[in-house]
Chains A and B, each alone.
Chain A
C-alpha cells in the first residue's frame, strides 16, 4: 500500500480531524462540523467512524471492528481489512484486548476501561431531525437549548401510544447541556454511556459531524418523572450461552424455521460458550460492574 499515506488520510486531514475531535471532547455532545473526505468505502457505510479511527490510530494499536454486535459481519470484515491494510495494526475480536473499537450500533457487553476508545459509526447525528428538518434551525435550537419540541414529541407518544416509541437513536442529555443522538444503539446500551471509564467518539461521514462523550460524563436519557426510561427486556436466555443479562436478537433457523434468541455481541457470547466448555477465558465485568458467572447455562 505504498501508494497511500499511513492510515489512508493525508497528514493535514488527520490534523484537522484530531483538532475537531479535541473540540468535540471539550464540548461534550456538541456536533463539530468537519471537512469529511470521501473514503474508499461508500458514504453511509461507516465513513465517519472510519475517518475518526484513522486519525487517532497508530501501529501500536489493537483494533476491533464490529457491526450490530458481530465481528464477523461482512461490512465489519471489510472495514477491519482496510484498517489493517492501511495501518499495520493487530486486529482482535476481544473487547478486552482492543485499544480502539469501531462499532456500528452496539456497545460491547463488557465494560470498557480508561485506556480504550469506542468509536461509533453514525448515520444521522442530529437528534432533533425527527422534529425539525432544517439544519439551520436545529443548530439554533441547540444553541438556545430549545428542546421543547422534542419533549412534546415524547409526550405526544405517551398520550397516543402509552409509551415513547423511539427504539434506537434514543435522545440523551449530555453533561446537562446538549441533547445528543447516541447513534442507533438500542435503548439497552444507553445507560452504558453514563459515567463511563472510556471515551466515546462519534463520527458521521456523510453528515460531516464529529461529537464525543468524554469519560465520567453525565448522560441521561430523556424521561418524565412519572414515566421513567425503559430498556429492552428479554424473557428467554440466549440459546447459545444461556445469558440473561445481554442484548439478544431473534432469528429463524435456516433449516427448521424455528425462532430462537441469541446474544447480539457475538464475541462475548463466544467467550462464555468457551468458558462453559471448560476453556480458560478472560471475561470482563458487565457495565453495572458485576461479573455474572456462567452457571446460568444449562
Chain B
C-alpha cells in the first residue's frame, strides 16, 4: 500500500509507533534501567550529551533507552529537549587548569610538569572479546571492586580517600605553555575579535566564521564526521602534521557570575570534559596566525564527556580550518562546519524517505521531454541525410 495516497495516514503513523514500542518486548523481559545505561554505557551517554549539546547524564541515558541505543537518535532527542529550555545565564569561561584530572597525556615530551597519567583507558587493552562477561553476576563485580580498591590504589590516594593525608594532588600546568615561554607558539587571533562570543544556537553561522563559532559547531558535531574530516587531512588531503601537546579528561567546575552580588561567582556544578591541545607546524605565508617565522600553532578541542577521538579530531580541524586559500576539504571551513552536525545531516539524509511524488512527476516530465526532443532531432538529421542523397544515383 502506498503510504500517502491511501486514506488513513494518521492511523498508519500511530500503529507504526505502537509496533515500535512492542518490538523490543515481543519476547518479554525486564526493563532496562536508566541507571544501568548511565553506568554501563558511560561512553555512549557521553557521546549523546556531547552531540546533543546538553550536559545531563540521566536524560542522555533515558534518550539512549528510548532510541534503543541509536546514539544519533538519542542525541536528537536531547537536542530537541534542549531547545525548549530557557537560557538563564552564560557561564564564565571554564578554567581547565583547575580540572580534576582522571587522565592526562602528552605526546610532545616524555616528561611534563605534573606527570602523565593513563587513567581509565582502553588504548593498551587487547581487543579480545571477554567471554566471561557473557553471564556476569553482581557478586563477581563486587569482588572485583573490593580487590581493586585494596590492591591497586596507591597509599597517597588511600590516605586522600580516608581523609587523613595532606592533600597532595599534583597540579597540571599546560604543556603548551612550555612552548609559549620559548617563543615558539604563534600568537592567537587578536583578542578583540572574540570580544563578543558568537552563539550558534541563537544566530545562524556566517562565513568567514569566528573561531568561537567554529569551536562551538565542532563541540556539538558528530564524532564520526569530525573524525572523517580530520583523518582526511592527516592521511593525504592536507598538510597537517599534528602532535598531541596535551590530552586531558576530567571534571571542571562550572561557574556563573553571582546573580545578586556583583564581582562574586557561583559554582553551579561540574562537568566531565575531554580537552585536546594539538601542536602543529605552521607555514607563515598562508596561515592566519603565524607572522613571518617558523612556528607552532595550537589546535584546540573540547567536548562534553569522555570522547578522545572527538576532541583530537576537533583540535586537528581547528588548525586545518585556519589555512587560507583552502585546497583540501578539511581546510574549507564551510565544507567542514556545514557537514559535521549529526542531527542536521541525519535529518536530511532520512528525509529522502518522505514521498517525493510531485517532484518525481516533474522530473519524469523533463526527462521524457528531453528524450522526445532528442529523438525528433535525430529523426530530423536522418531526414536531412536522406534528402541530401540523390534519389536516382546508383
Contact = CB atoms under 8 A, between A and B. Distances in A.
A47 B338 CA distance: 17
B358 A68 contact: yes
A37 B358 contact: no
Interface string B361-377: 11111100110011001
Contact of A42 (B2, B351, B366): B351
Interface in A153-209: 161-163, 165-168, 184-188, 206, 208-209
Contacts of B351: 42, 44-45, 123
Chain A binding surface, main DSSP class: loop
Q: B interface, how many residues as a size bin?
A: 35 or more
A61 interface: no
Contact of B344 (A73, A206, A232): A206
Contacts of A161: 370, 373-374
Contact of B355 (A40, A67, A185): A67
A122 B79 CA distance: 21
Contacts of B206: 33, 135-136, 139
A104 B357 CA distance: 11
B2 A165 contact: no
Interface stretch (A21-29, A216-224, A245-253, A289-297): A245-253
A185 B1 CA distance: 25
Contacts of A76: 9
B16 to A, nearest CB: 8
Contacts of B364: 250
A136 B208 contact: yes
Given A76-B9, A162-B374, A70 B347 contact: no
Contacts of B349: 44
Interface string B348-360: 1111001111110
Interface string A90-112: 00000000000000111000000
Contact of B4 (A70, A106, A166, A188): A70
B328 to A, nearest CB: 15
Interface string A49-70: 0000000000000000001111
A67 B377 contact: no
A279 B5 CA distance: 23
Interface string A229-270: 000110000000000000111110010000000101010000
B357 A163 contact: no
A76 B10 CA distance: 9
B121 interface: no
A81 B204 contact: no
Given A37-B83, A106-B358, A251-B5, A167 B365 contact: yes
A70 B9 CA distance: 10
Contacts of A10: 84, 86
A4 B355 contact: no
- Residue of A38, A68, A134, A206 most packed against chain B (CB within 10 A): A38
Interface string B10-27: 101100000000000000
A187 B334 contact: no
B207 A72 contact: no
Contacts of A127: none
Contact of B359 (A40, A42, A168): A168
Nearest to A262: B5
A74 B4 contact: yes
A43 interface: yes
Nearest to B200: A35
Interface in B1-58: 1-10, 12-13
A5 B84 contact: yes
A251 B346 CA distance: 29
A185 B359 CA distance: 7
Contact of A38 (B80, B202, B334, B361): B80
A120 interface: no
Contacts of A247: 358, 361
B330 interface: no
A43 B361 contact: no
27 contacts: A5-B84, A10-B86, A33-B204, A44-B349, A44-B350, A44-B351, A45-B354, A70-B5, A72-B4, A72-B7, A72-B9, A74-B9, A105-B358, A123-B351, A135-B334, A136-B206, A139-B206, A161-B374, A163-B370, A168-B362, A184-B358, A186-B359, A206-B344, A209-B204, A232-B361, A254-B1, A264-B358
Interface of A: 4-5, 8, 10, 16, 33-40, 42-45, 47, 67-70, 72-78, 81, 104-106, 123, 133-136, 139, 161-163, 165-168, 184-188, 206, 208-209, 232-233, 247-251, 254, 262, 264, 266
